[in-house]
Structures are given as C-alpha cells and as structure tokens.
Chains A and B, each alone.
Chain A
Amino acid sequence: MVYSPSRRDFLRSVLSVSAGLTVVGMGTACSSGRSTGSGGSGSTGTLIVAAPSLKGLGQDYMTQLVYPSATYWDAIFDYLVEQDESGNYIPGIATAWEASADKLTWAFDIRDGVVFHNGDPMSAEDVAFSYNRLLFDPASRHAIKSRAEVVDSIKVDGKRMLLKTKTPQADVPVWFAQSDGGVSGTVVSKKYFDAQGAAKASAHPVGTGAYKFVSSSGEDSVELAAFDDAKRGDWQKTRQPKYSSVKVVAVSEESTRVSMLKSGQADAVPLTVSSIADVESAGSGMRVVKTPSASYAGMLFVGYTLNPKSPFNDKRIRQALSIAIDRQAITDSVYKGTAKPSGGFYGGPGSLGYPEDLEPPAFDSDQAKSLLSDAGFSGDMQILIKSDDTDFPDMSTLAEAIAGYYQKIGLSVKVNAMDSGALNDLQYAGKLPGQKANPAVSPATLYLRGFGNVVNVVPDQVTGYTSEGRPGRALWDYPEQEQKLKAIAAEFDADKQASMFADYYKWMAEQWNQVPLLASDAVFGVSGKVAKWQPITSKPLVNSLHTMSG
C-alpha cells in the first residue's frame, strides 16, 4: 500500500517537525541553563563579581595603556603603599618609608614574612625588580615610566629598597601607592618572572594578595581561589579571604549587571543612580552599598587670567556663576541622594588635605544677579558650557541643569556636550574659546568636567595646570596659583603638605577660581551572600574582596 498523505497531513508534519525542533532546542537549553545558574552563585563559598571591563586580562600590565581592573588585581597583588577603608595611605609591602636628608633618596622598609602564592618568599629584590621593570624596561608603556627621567636608580640595601632621584621628589611614595598611578605599586616575583618569562608570568599571575589566580577566559572572566596557605606571613593572615573562590566576569552593560544580581548570577556589581530603586526593591537580601566621594564635578573658567579681556577676570562674575547654582536641588532631583554639594574642586574625604569644614557655595540667585549687575553685565554675554562625558555620572543632565539656573539670572546659555576625547583634542590644541589659540571673549566658556577622586592630586595639578605641563593647553595663567601648587608639591613632610593643601583649597574658594559642584558616591549592589563589606571610599569599582563575607 502506497502512503498518500493529504495536504493537511503534510502541514501537520511540517508543524510537528518545527515544534519538535523548538522543544528539543528549548529543553536542551533549559537544562543547560539551570546547570549554569546553580554552578555559579548557587555554590556555597563562591562569590561572583561583575566588573565593567577586564581589558588587558592575561597581558603583561607593564605593556598596557589601560590598567587591569582593580576588582581582581587588588585581590591578587599587594602594593608598596596601600589604603585603609577611608582612603588614607597605610603601610603595605613597605612597613615604613623616609626621605634622606638631601631629599634625593627614598628608603622603603620591606615587610618580612610575606610569601607569594607559589610559596616563594617575597623580598626587597622582588620589589626593586617590579619597579625597575616599570620605569626602565624598554617595553614598558606604563604611565609611571614618565618618572624615569628623574630617577637615578632603584636598588636593594638589605631589607630596604632605595630609590634615588636626580632632583628632590616629594611624592615618590604616591608613585607606588594603591590608588594613584593605577597598578604601579604592584609587587611581582622576580624568580617567577625569570623562570616563566613575562608572557607566561602575566598569563598566570602570582602575587601575595588574599586570593590567588586560578584561570581566565580571554577577557571574559577570571577565577580566583582563597590564598589561605599556612605559610602566609602574619600580615597576610590579617586579610583572611572569606570565600573559597571568586569569579570576576566582565559585563559592560549596567542593565545586564543588575539582571545578573537579581537572578542570583552575580553577588556584587557597580551601579549608577538609575538602578538603585530596582535593586532596593528586589528583596532576597539584595542591598545598595554606597561610599562617598568617588568622583567630582566642577567647572573651569576657560581663559581666566590667560586672556586680558576675559569676563572671568572679574571676581564678581566668577562668584555669580558659582552661587547661581542650587547644588542641593540638583543633587536631590538628578542624583537622588547619591551625590552631595561640594566646596572643593579636586577631592573630598580621603584625599590629601581636604578641609572637612569647607562649605559648598551657598545658592543665592538674587545676589548672583546683583553681582552681575555690579560687574556691568549688560545682558549680551553669551555663556557656553562645554561638557565631557566621563568621570562623573550623567554629565549632560548636570550641564542642562546648570544652564537652567544661569538662564534664571538672565544669562544666555548654550550647552555643548562632547565626547571626552574630542574635548581633550580641543583643549590640547588650545582651541577652546578663551584659550591661547582661540582668544575669543564671547562665548565665555565654562569647561564642565568630572574627576576621579585621587588621594594625592598635587602632582597632577602641577603637571596639568602649571608651566611644568603642556603650555599650549593651559586654561588659565595664574602665577600665584602656580607658586602655591609648586610649593605644596615640593613639601616632603606629609602632614605639612596636607595642611598647605587645605589652605590652598580655602584660598581657591575665596578667589572663586573655579566652580565646585558635586561629589558623587560610588554605588554598588550586593546580594544576600555579601552581608559584610568594607570597600575603600572613593573607589568606583568593586574592591577589597577580602573584606567581603556572608
């Protein structure tokens, strides 16, 4: 008998095959999906952290122009100088440090009893090897290499590392500190590098931190295991890891990180203000963790003191442009309590010399109008706010909010939000309105920008804004300010330097030299598996994994 199906039979068979394929596919996928889920956050003792990027993972950090993510790097390695949870510098691999009487040699006492993850003891040789590589290896592309021109030598003297400079350098400890200079303070094993070669030693890093490297997958993820070897030194034992393993995955999209947290596929993720409500309402022990002062926003008066005709040379106009902004209202409406008005332009709690009693400029639009009037403002002054898009959350909204307040006091304002690279190009070429190559008086240009909170901003301020830096890109030319910065940079006594910097902050505020705006928190979402955590203030990435526990 010949099988002769009808058209209905044919259609039924087509549908059956399609449905079957779909069901089989879904079934396979479902079973695999459950397995993946439970194998991740479901496993007791495993912590999963989502970092925005793991760029450069597995590469030699010396050859990178981007820093490895501190989320996993800080867990694997220790630094010469470290930070406590308030951001203050504390001894790390170095127990103490001091400058010689002639201020040309810095001596660092290297800690005893520290062992690498492979069991080798760490010595001053390893420390000197690590920093000689960064400063003098021809293959080094690390930012700290720019200091090589002032360094004479880095040598070992017993249990000390001696760094000799050609001219006095007050900030040497900062070069190898945990925060400033990215990962330049990292201490690697000379013996391990010599035996494996830089490529292999970087692909499978060995450090002295609380967690040891296990494996990595491209730039997607890195797996760590607790370093709880009995041979660890006493100092290492004080940082007991609480999870048997940690997986750090690269997840660039914030909505994806939040979904991972809510579905139990991540335990700690960095957030922005837009996701806070979502995480707070998720339940299951999920909570939001904030640390203050991760970044700052402020405005620079382009052309101030640089251009004799700049309207910003009139202090009343500078003051008016500062007090016309209701910082608290912007904080409440735009940043929903994750930022606060700031009186300092460069840093905040945890940064060198920040005067805690420095109040933000008080909002007073009537006085602002009056000051403009006193200054002979005729209403034809155009204000241009050039805003970049990095180092502070939601810069474009902030720029629009400021423009709104300026319009209220009768100013004509335009906002020009730009990619930070394009804005850098303009500034470096000296072409922002008011700069040397574009000495326009109108529009009077304010450069709105964000800054990551750096513990010691003095070196950057000196190279960035004084004649030590690139003259063509200067935004102002103010000898008194330059002298003050140079004097602070040259001070070797840390306490005195902090005091001088505090005075500098206050002087800047009195002069209305810049427009301080807001300080933003670092915001994280954590799952119920992270009951305790002491992140270092001001760091925007998930950090201090050894302080996390369930």
Chain B
Amino acid sequence: MVSYVGRRTLQAIANIVFVATLIFVLARATGDPVSLLLPQSASPAVVDQLRTELGLDKPLWAQFLGFLGQIFTFDLGHSFVTGEPVSDVLLTHIGPTLALSLTALVLAVVVGIPLGVVSAVRRGGVIDAVAKGIALLGQAVPAFYLSILLVLLFAVQLPLFPVAGRDGAASYVLPAIALGWPALAGVLRLTRSSMLDALDADYVRMARAKGMHPTITVGKHALRNALIPVVTFSGLMLAGFLGGAVVIESIFNWQGIGQLTLDAIKVRDFPVVQGAVITVAIGFIVVNLAVDILYLVIDPRIRYE
C-alpha cells in the first residue's frame, strides 16, 4: 500500500509538470497581456516598463522555469491585474467552489444511490419510471438552462430562495441542485445498473435462498458490490466540479474558482490562470487517489501490490 501511494505520488508529480507545461503554453498562445492591461493611449515606455515588471521581458524558458519553481515552492506569484498573491486569490475562491461541489455531490449521492437501489429492486414499477425520468432530465437538460429555470421558478415566481450570491444555507439550494442534478442522474443510473447485475448474481440468490433478511441482502451484499463504479464516478464528478462549475458559478454569482479562472482568462492574467489550473489538476489527482484508496474499504478483496 505504501509503495503504491509512493508510485502514485511520483505519477502525480509527472502529471503536474505536464499540466503546467500545457497551461503555460496555452496561456501564452492567447496573446500579450500588456495590450489588455494598459489603455490604448499608453506610451511605449510605459508598455515596456509594465512588461519588465510582470517578467514578460524574460525569455520564455526562463519564465517557464520560474513558473515550475513557483509550483513546487507553493508560491504562485502575483496577479498581473490586482498585484495580490495568487495563493491568496485562490484560497479566497476555492472555499466557495469546494462548498458548492461537496453540497452538490452529497445531493447526488444521498438521493441518487437510494433511488437507484429502489429503482433496481422495483424494476419496471412506478418508482423505477420516476427515477428513470429524473435521470433522463438530469442528463438531457443543459446546466445553464436548468439553472435559469430554477431561478425563475424558485427565486422569482416563488421567492423561496435567493437568486444569487452566497449568504446562508438557502443560497446553496438552487446552485447545488443545478450542479448536482446531472451527477445525480449519473449516480442513479450507475447504481441501478450495478444493482441489477448484483441482484442477479449467484451470491445474492444464495443469500435469498438461505432466508437472509432482504434489507441485509440488498444493503450489505448487493449494494456494497455495486458501489465500486459509483464511487469512481462520484470521485470524477467531484473533481470535475472543482474546475467545471463555471456556468453555475456565473449564473448564481458564486465567486468560485471557475468564475475566477474565466475572468483571469479574459484579461490574460497568466499567474492566476496557471495557479487555478494547477490547483484544479492537483484536486483531480488527490480525488482520484482517494477514490482508489476507498476501493479497499468497500471491497476488501482489492489489493494494491
């Protein structure tokens, strides 16, 4: 196990260097930030001065090495625009994104897994039909459209929740549903199909034949075996939320890391873009590692040699 985690850590470092290279090149492919940061009337001297101040006058390889050094010393430099340390900016924005992502994931898991189980156990029944409808809507309706519908229905027509912002538990409800519904749909469908496979398995039939209590049969034997793909999916969803919730963050005015990255891209704030992408990449790697370790808990037969 220890050697496995060690190997994965080395792989993670290689992945981070790869992502760092990619984002460094792609950010610079968008153009010169100075042309956006200064007014059109800025004189050549002012342009040159800013370029020097931002380190953009150095050769690309020197900028890249500096960036790599920053990653591994946890100092991501300063925002081109505001001059704030990027680590401070990221810390301010990662909290709201994490809170929203975890709420959405909890919603997806807490509703998706039981509904998937029930749907499988009562296959072909009313609950199964309702569950499949929920899953279909979740996967078919685009997040931005769902968000706008939720706002119009539950914040404007029925003023139950705030339209936007992050102020108290109520402000989590609509964005969490908008973000979590597609994930819920995935969890539900995956749980249902895995449960159907498990319920047809020999060991479940044997348990039933032995007269084992249905709750134990379904909850302990079938569900536990059916959970592995669901855990993998949920982990990927959580990691995806970290960087991919930009539409939801924008509509619900959630000052998270997705919104931050989008704003930074618009003004070519390279340090913030790079820092945000690296942070999300690290989040992805950590979540994947956590999922792999979670397999051991769910299924003791799994061993990492």
Interface of A toward B, CB cutoff 8 Å: 4-7, 10-11, 14-15, 17-18, 21-22, 25-26, 28-37, 53, 55-56, 59, 63-66, 141, 143, 145-146, 149, 218-221, 249-253, 255-256, 259-260, 262-265, 420-422, 424-425, 428, 459-460, 463-464, 469-470
Contact = CB atoms under 8 A, between A and B. Distances in A.
Given A30-B161, A220-B253, A259-B152, 7 more contacts: A11-B121, A18-B115, A21-B110, A59-B82, A64-B82, A256-B253, A263-B155
Interface centre among B37, B47, B253 (most CB of A within 10 A): B253
A255 B251 contact: yes
B84 A59 contact: yes
Interface in B283-300: none
Contacts of A459: 41
B191 to A, nearest CB: 12
Interface centre among B36, B110, B111 (most CB of A within 10 A): B36
A404 B181 CA distance: 43
A249 B165 CA distance: 8
Contacts of A421: 30-31, 35-36, 268
Contact of B111 (A18, A145, A249, A470): A18
B31 A29 contact: no
Leading 7 A-B pairs by shortest Cβ distance: A33-B170, A32-B170, A463-B41, A29-B173, A424-B35, A33-B161, A7-B214
Given A65-B37, A263-B163, A59 B173 contact: no
Interface string B28-54: 001110011111111111110010010
A493 to B, nearest CB: 23
Contact of A65 (B81, B114, B127): B81
A26 B173 contact: yes
Interface of B: 30-32, 35-47, 50, 53, 80-84, 92, 110-111, 114-115, 117-118, 121-122, 127, 148, 151-152, 155-156, 159-173, 213-215, 218-219, 250-253, 255, 259, 263, 267-268
Nearest to B40: A464
B1 to A, nearest CB: 34
A251 B117 CA distance: 40
A11 B41 contact: no
Contact of A18 (B43, B84, B110): B110
A29 B170 contact: yes
Contacts of B31: 421-422, 424-425
A6 B252 CA distance: 44
A459 B214 CA distance: 82
A66 B82 contact: yes
Given A17-B114, A18-B114, A460-B41, A36 B162 contact: yes
A354 B219 CA distance: 78
Contact of B159 (A7, A28, A221, A263): A263
Contacts of A251: 164-165, 253
Nearest to A263: B156
B169 A32 contact: yes
Contact of B80 (A29, A30, A37, A65): A65
Contacts, number: 183
A10 B214 contact: yes
Contacts of A53: 263
A30 B42 contact: no
B213 A4 contact: yes
A265 B162 contact: yes
B114 A146 contact: no
B38 A259 contact: no
Given A11-B122, A65-B37, A259-B151, A264 B159 contact: yes
A36 B171 CA distance: 9
Nearest to A143: B39
B159 A37 contact: yes
Given A7-B214, A11-B122, A470-B44, A65 B268 contact: no
Nearest to B31: A425
Contacts of B251: 253, 255-256
Nearest to B254: A220
Nearest to B30: A421
Contacts of B80: 65
A7 B121 contact: yes
Nearest to A5: B215
A141 B253 CA distance: 29
Contacts of B253: 220, 249-253, 256
Contacts of B213: 4-5
B156 to A, nearest CB: 5
A220 B156 contact: no
9 contacts: A6-B214, A10-B215, A10-B218, A18-B114, A55-B263, A59-B84, A220-B253, A259-B155, A264-B159
Contact of A220 (B36, B84, B255, B268): B255
Contact of A32 (B39, B83, B111, B168): B168
Contact of A464 (B41, B46, B166): B41
A262 B164 contact: no
Contacts of B110: 18, 21
B40 A218 contact: no
Contacts of A464: 40-41
Contacts of A29: 160-161, 169-170, 172-173
A253 B36 CA distance: 22
A453 to B, nearest CB: 15
Interface centre among A5, A17, A56, A260 (most CB of B within 10 A): A260
Nearest to B260: A219
Nearest to B148: A255
Contact of A425 (B32, B45, B152, B160): B32
Contacts of A37: 159, 162
A66 B81 contact: yes
